[in-house]
Amino acid sequence: MNIQKPGLTLYGLFIVMAFLAAAALLFGVAVSSILVFLLIYAALAYSINFITGMIGYVDFGHVLFMAIGSYALATLVSYYGANPLLGVGAGAVLGLVFALGIGLVILRFRGVYFAIATVVLVLAAYNIVLQFPQLGTGGEIIFNLTLQPLTPYFTIWTIVLIEIALTYYVNRSRIGFGIRAIKSEEDAASSVGVSPQRLKLIGYMLGGLFGGAAGGVYSWSTSGVTAGPAFDFTFSLLMLAMIIIGGVGTSIGPLLGAVVVYIPSYFLLTSVAQAQPLIIGLLVIIMALFLPDGIVGLLRRSNERLRLVLE
């Protein structure tokens, strides 16, 4: 199998990541508290990219793994006084385990049936969490930590870095070829010796792992978790919007999408901010109908040199 040497995209992404690390170290709390959410968005976008981007199964319920990670960290930190880093690890492991269990069942459904199954799972999980008094009234856990903004920042920074490397590797490896074969034609793929069930499960579990980890860092940064926002479809939808806008399945698209979705919401005034989801919706429609590869596809099409470089 011909696997090429790492290209410019990977080096470019590493430079961006190095820049993000330097910005936090140089400017400290003020900058890192803004950028930490950008990185959380990016981590979530990369995590759903393993599922929707690579396998091509639209996942409306990815927020489930984020919520699992959030609750794992919040429970460990507020009830057992554990180190938040341990909470992030627990969130990642739980995300992986849940993805394995859920994936074994719902990855058997194709296309729209999978999409619908992911929707109902989140709604069911939300209603079930509200049943547990241990998770606080209204599923709310709030904790106090001495503020060390750089620790969560570099945790999520590391997660995103691993995700970028892994996305890049999977896209070019044997697994990636198999996964792309599933995306184009699942039956044909299985007839040439690709095992769709196994590869889909790998993608789904990667999504669950990183979704859980990102969710852990999210509740760490917001010092708490509430069932309403934790299972809010808004996050699921934003994750999906980010990769559709950035470019599904690519290594650079999720980061681009996170920038497009997150940065305006931070800088716009509240009155204008109301119009932001409206614009995201419009962008998603346009991208889905006319630019299936998002911004990455647009850049590739506009310039011959970019076409060769961007992945």
Partner 1 sequence: MVAVELIVRDLAFGLMLGCVFSVVAHGLNIIWGVVKVVNIAHGEFIMLGAYGAYFLNLFAGITPLESAPVNAVIGLLVGYAFYYAFLHRELRNKQTITLQSEMVTLAATFGLSLFISNLAIILFTGNPVGVNYNPGTLQFGYLHVPLAALYVAIVSILIIAGTWLFLEKTFIGSTIRAYSQDVTATELVGANPATVASLATALGFAVTMAGGALLTVWVPVGINPLMGALYAPISFVIVVLGGPGKMWGSLVGGLTLGVLIDLVQAFATAQIAYAAAFLILIPVLVFRPGGILK
Residue 281 within binding range of partner 1, rule CB under 8 A:
yes
Write out the binding residues for partner 1, residues 203-242 only, by CB under 8 A: 233, 237, 240-241
Q: Among 275, 301, 303, 307, which residue interacts with partner 1 (rule: CB under 8 A)?
A: 275
Residue 273 within binding range of partner 1, rule CB under 8 A:
no
Q: In this complex, which beta carbon is closest to partner 1, that of residue 217 or of residue 287?
A: 287
Q: Among 185, 268, 301, 307, which residue interacts with partner 1 (rule: CB under 8 A)?
A: 185
Which has the closest alpha carbon to 48: 135, 181, 163? 163
Q: How far apart are CA 278 and CA 105, in angstroms?
A: 34
Residue 293 within binding range of partner 1, rule CB under 8 A:
no
Q: In this complex, which beta carbon is closest to partner 1, that of residue 125 or of residue 156?
A: 125
Q: Nearest approach, Cβ of 293 to partner 1 (angstroms)?
A: 12
Q: Are 299 and 310 spatial neighbours (Cβ–Cβ below 8 Å)?
A: yes
Write out the binding residues for partner 1, residues 48-67 only, by CB under 8 A: 56, 58, 60
Q: What is the DSSP letter of 103?
A: H
**Residues paired with residue 12 on neighbouring β-strands, in sequence order:** none
Residue 106 within binding range of partner 1, rule CB under 8 A:
yes
DSSP string, 145-199: ----THHHHHHHHHHHHHHHHHHHHHHHSHHHHHHHHHHH-HHHHHHTT--HHHH
Using CB under 8 A, list all residues that contact partner 1.
56, 58, 60, 105-106, 108-113, 115-117, 119-121, 123-125, 127-128, 130-131, 183-186, 233, 237, 240-241, 244, 274-275, 277-278, 280-289, 292
